[in-house]
Amino acid sequence: MKYRYLGNSGFKVSELIYGNWLTHATQIENEAAYATVHAALEGGITTFDTADVYANQAAEVVLGEALKGQRREGLEILTKVYWPVAERKPNDTGLSRKHIMESINGSLKRLQTDYVDLYQAHRYDVETPLEETMQAFADIVRQGKALYIGVSEWDAEQIRAGHKLSKELGFQLISSQPQYSMLWRVIEAEVIPTCEELGLSQIVWSPMAQGVLTGKYLPGQPVPENSRAANEKVNSFIQKLLTDEVLSKVQELKPIADDLGITMAQFSLAWVLQNKNVAAAIVGATTPAQITSNLGAVGVEIPADVMTKVSEIFASIAVTDPRETKAPETRLV
């Protein structure tokens, strides 16, 4: 495993971060979840990402149990706040001071820890003054409940405004957590240049495009049993990618990955890690073997001509419009 600084800070994260968005308390049983977390630890992954909304708070509970007994100082635990949770009452959502303060306390209890290393705004809240949100984050940092603050799926303008307020309040935003893959490149035009200027780096989610970039979904073929696409609980995010056009182009990556001596999954992870503003890629897993295989992406250097070839393959279908980074129009969804 290799480790990178997160933003303009002295805080390091593992290049691969274990995330439990659609797996823990949803796709796999708890014992299987514990096994994948332990495989991650054995492979040198020290950073773990979750959110209160995952499985409506249950994913944090599973992760807390999985990490029990580990030396806390040797881990980096990340979680998030924004989306409706619990009973979905009026204040069970958003980035108001009330919801942030109550949410951090709930997350710490579920994760069985006194603090999280990085607390992230899971979306931008259009209904709450940004000053209120950032003051709440500043107070959480001063209370020692979170060491650093980040954001997720904020556009460049929102990041700039949040960064300015954080500096005025005596702390600093250090990270952005956007979707990023060969198929989804909306952060390249505006978010990444802004973050480079301000001293934030990216922790990217869905680097394998929900598993599509692994090559296991074939054009014209039924989806594999036990795959994410076959699971009705979690497959809503992947359906739009399961077109013959997308899947055919993905298969063009196979000989390229073969030439590099890596799997297509490893190729997709190594591809996002080539971007110097990307500190880490989040990986999920339903089995320890998947985690172990993903570790093969660490340290892979992709030649410039291969990077160009990837862009050419996906030129007609990759999403690049920065306007696709959108804040929800209302907090209650």
Mean pLDDT, the chain, rounded, equals 95
pLDDT digits (tens, 9 = 90+) for 270-290: 999 999 999 999 999 899 999
**H helices within the chain, ranges in order?**
30-42, 58-66, 97-111, 130-143, 156-168, 191-198, 244-251, 254-260, 264-273, 288-294, 304-313
* Residue 26: pLDDT band with limits 50, 70, 90: confident
- pLDDT for residue 235: 61
pTM: 0.95
pLDDT digits (tens, 9 = 90+) for 187-243: 999 999 999 999 999 999 999 999 999 999 998 877 777 776 666 666 677 888 889
Q: Which residue has the tokens 């002295």?
A: 10
* Residue 294: pLDDT band with limits 50, 70, 90: very high
- pLDDT for residue 87: 94
CA of 140: how far to CAs of 10, 49, 160, 218, 248, in Å? 19, 19, 21, 47, 48
Distance, in Å, from the CA atom of 333 to the CA atom of 329, rounded to the nearest integer, reads: 9
Q: Which of 27, 52, 218, 216 minimizes the C-alpha distance to 119? A: 52
- pLDDT for residue 234: 61
Token pair of 158 as six digits: 């929102």
pLDDT digits (tens, 9 = 90+) for 92-105: 999 999 999 999 99
State the DSSP string of 197-247.
HHT-EEEEB-TTGGGGGGT-S-TTSPPPTTSGGG-TTTGGGTGGG-SHHHH
Segment among 57-71, 192-206, 226-240, 252-266 with least mean pLDDT: 226-240
- pLDDT for residue 22: 83
- Please compute the mean of the pLDDT values over residues 257-265 and round it to a whole number: 97
Q: How do the domains of the chain map onto residue ranges?
A: 3-324
User: Which residues are marked as active site?
Assistant: 54
- Please compute the mean of the pLDDT values over residues 298-309 and round it to a whole number: 97
- Please compute the mean of the pLDDT values over residues 310-331 and round it to a whole number: 95
Segment among 143-147, 233-237, 260-264, 291-295 with least mean pLDDT: 233-237
In the chain, % helix, strand, coil (3-state, to 5) comes to: 45, 15, 40
- pLDDT for residue 71: 98
Question: Taking the alpha carbons of 48, 51, 55, 56 in that order, is the dihedral positive or negative?
Answer: positive
- Considering the segment(s) 3-324 as one domain, its CATH architecture is Alpha-Beta Barrel (3.20)
